[in-house]
Amino acid sequence: MIPVLSTIAGAIIDVTRPALRLYQQDLKNRINEHWAAKPRENVLAVLATGAGKTVLFSSIISDESGSTCAVAHRQELVSQISLSLARNKVRHRIIGPTNVVKMIVRLHMEETGHSYYDPSSRHAVAGVDTLVRRGDKLADWLPTVKLWVMDEAHHVLRENKWGTAVNMFPHARGLGVTATPSRADGNGLGAHADGVFHVMKVGPSMRDLINMNFLTEYKLFAPPSSFSRDAIKISNTTGDFVASEVSKAVNNSSLITHDEKTITGDVVNTYKKLLNGMLTVVFAPDVNTATELEQQYIAAGIPAKCVHGGMSDYDRIAAVRSFKNREYLVLTSVSIFDEGFDCPAIEAVQDVAATESFGRFVQRAGRMLRLKDGKKFGYYVDHVGNIARHAMLVDHPTGPKIELCHREWSLDRRERRSGKSEPSTVRVCVACTAVYERYVDACPDCDEPVPKPAVRSGPEWVDGDLFELDAETLAQMRAEVVGARETPEAMRDRLTGMGVPQLGVLANVKRQGQRIDALVKLDNTLSQWAGYRRAEGLSDSEIFRKFYLTYSISWIEAQALKAVEADKLRERIG
């Protein structure tokens, strides 16, 4: 017999349900306000990883007077959605085989001390594959549902299985929740594009939540290895790397390979140097690599477990429980922990799976940001170039930060990224492998100075630091500035002496006057910008580098721009 929540216990639980945080309540209010005006529209709610998306939609589900269905975006996560609803004291039924229901109820009892399974509840949980597969058997129930909820809703497009599932509820409005409403394939989640959502409501950003002390601050590391992502092909379908090629590149590199003496590759060696004793999740490109890493950790005396989709739900959750209890220090995986995984115990992430997907990068890096007593920082160790590809240096009133999640979200389609990285705004310390702002003079973690450039023949080789240019290059660039600032009178005399027709002289002199005016205005803006940077304590080299990395032009090149370009740069600087 399956334990069922009693009516009295249910009534008590209803009044003791966890209260929403202020930002969660604000987002809930904005969602409900939209539905009050447009009750049949689908809303996409965006909350950063670790901000409590499940708490939010659990509250919305519990308030719904009609029938609801929370849809797990992957079949193996049905138990996780159910357990999340149980933690938030929402009674519900589970659409699935009896053995699955029994296993989930067992998890409820072990985790919360109660079963929140209620076969008569108006709230249901189902996996997307179950809905699609059992459509005919559920035909009488589907029209009664008034609200569907899809976790990790960035998967939902009209023409894929997630879109098929939610469109099976003909009389329901929809709520999607996600931390990253973007797709590597460029498809838009809006109903006007490729998805099903009519409007997006966005909560506080990852940085906002860190500043509000709802997420922990982080440290970034990118230790060297022989791995290279340069030759890995990008799929025309997904917009991400071809998985088999990522696996090949990883396994043929020093991340995995080793000799008989070393026993382990760079991934495990890095754990011993940087993270020794920390509860760490490792993202691998495939199950075979995850299994190989598990064995290498164990060989190094580090208790580890490979967790994958082929395991039963119970075995997988038991492994996570052992991890929380520090029976395992490391869990290796492929995508099981990418999304929808709530484990504040995680102290570090080692990423061994290169990705072109910004959303996947953010989801992985966010695993170590949940608060836990004694955790001052979450550590993200990037072995495959994901930080350089996706992270960005962002200016804040309190100073610049390397941000893991920094986009303006949209429901529209967007162009796919080319696969070629823009110049990175971060640097990896050659001494301690910490990742830090590229413009600063030395590593903030260990004070190792920025390495001297091997080539000094242009701004691109020295990050715009004029002090590092060779004398010949600097002299040439200064001459270009002098030429750009020729007075209109001098230009008139020069052109006249060259025999240029009078109309040509007048036109060129007029344009030069406009150029000088624009450059003088830009000079004032540059002086003000530099003054603010000096007030922040930056050295002249740091000012030059920061300017170059921010605006993609060196300080001295900016002083030789033409009028239109100078005005555009001045507007960008503000």
Last residue of a domain, one of 149, 179, 204: 204
* pLDDT tens by residue, 204-237: 999 999 999 999 999 999 999 999 999 999 998 8
* pLDDT tens by residue, 423-464: 678 899 989 999 999 999 999 999 999 999 999 999 999 999
* 47 strand-pairing partners: none
Contact of 522 with 529, CB cutoff 8 Å: no
> Three-state SS for 178?
strand
My answer on whether 309 and 193 are in the same domain is: no
DSSP character for 274? I
pLDDT at 499 over 60: yes
Contact of 287 with 306, CB cutoff 8 Å: yes
Contact of 82 with 92, CB cutoff 8 Å: yes
In a domain? residue 448: no
In a domain? residue 447: no
Say how many domains are in the chain: 3
In a domain? residue 413: no
> Three-state SS for 219?
strand
Q: Domain containing 389 — which CATH number?
A: 3.40.50.300
My answer on whether 190 and 286 are in the same domain is: no
My answer on whether 223 and 193 are in the same domain is: no
| Structure tokens that stand for 344 in this block | 């504040």
In a domain? residue 445: no
My answer on whether 62 and 168 are in the same domain is: yes
- Give percent of the chain with pLDDT exceeding 90: 72
* pLDDT tens by residue, 49-86: 889 898 899 999 999 999 999 998 776 678 888 988 89
In a domain? residue 143: yes
> What phi and psi values does residue 306 have, to the nearest 5 degrees?
-85, 125
CA distance 364 to 295: 22
Range of the domain at 366: 209-404+421-437
* pLDDT tens by residue, 505-546: 999 999 999 999 999 999 999 999 999 999 989 999 999 999
The H or E element spanning position 146 is: strand 145-151
> What phi and psi values does residue 273 have, to the nearest 5 degrees?
-80, -40
- For the beta carbon of residue 76, count every other beta carbon within 10 angstroms: 17
My answer on whether 122 and 251 are in the same domain is: no
My answer on whether 390 and 469 are in the same domain is: no
The residue to which tokens 């109309």 are assigned: 503
My answer on whether 148 and 135 are in the same domain is: yes
* pLDDT tens by residue, 389-413: 999 888 877 777 889 988 889 999 9
3-state helix, strand, coil in the chain (%, to 5): 40, 15, 45
In a domain? residue 409: no
Q: In what order do the strands lie in the sheet with 123-127?
A: 93-94, 123-127, 67-72, 145-151, 173-178, 43-46, 199-202
My answer on whether 20 and 169 are in the same domain is: yes
My answer on whether 241 and 263 are in the same domain is: yes
My answer on whether 199 and 284 are in the same domain is: no
pLDDT of residue 11: 46
- For the beta carbon of residue 383, count every other beta carbon within 10 angstroms: 26
User: Is the whole-model pTM more than 0.95?
Assistant: no
pLDDT of residue 343: 85
My answer on whether 328 and 344 are in the same domain is: yes
In a domain? residue 1: no
| Range 90-102 average pLDDT | 89
My answer on whether 200 and 142 are in the same domain is: yes
In a domain? residue 148: yes
- Within 13 Å of residue 297, how many CA atoms lie on the same side as its CB? 27
Q: Domain containing 73 — which CATH number?
A: 3.40.50.10810
* pLDDT tens by residue, 263-283: 778 999 999 999 999 999 999
DSSP character for 451? P
- Give percent of the chain with pLDDT exceeding 70: 94
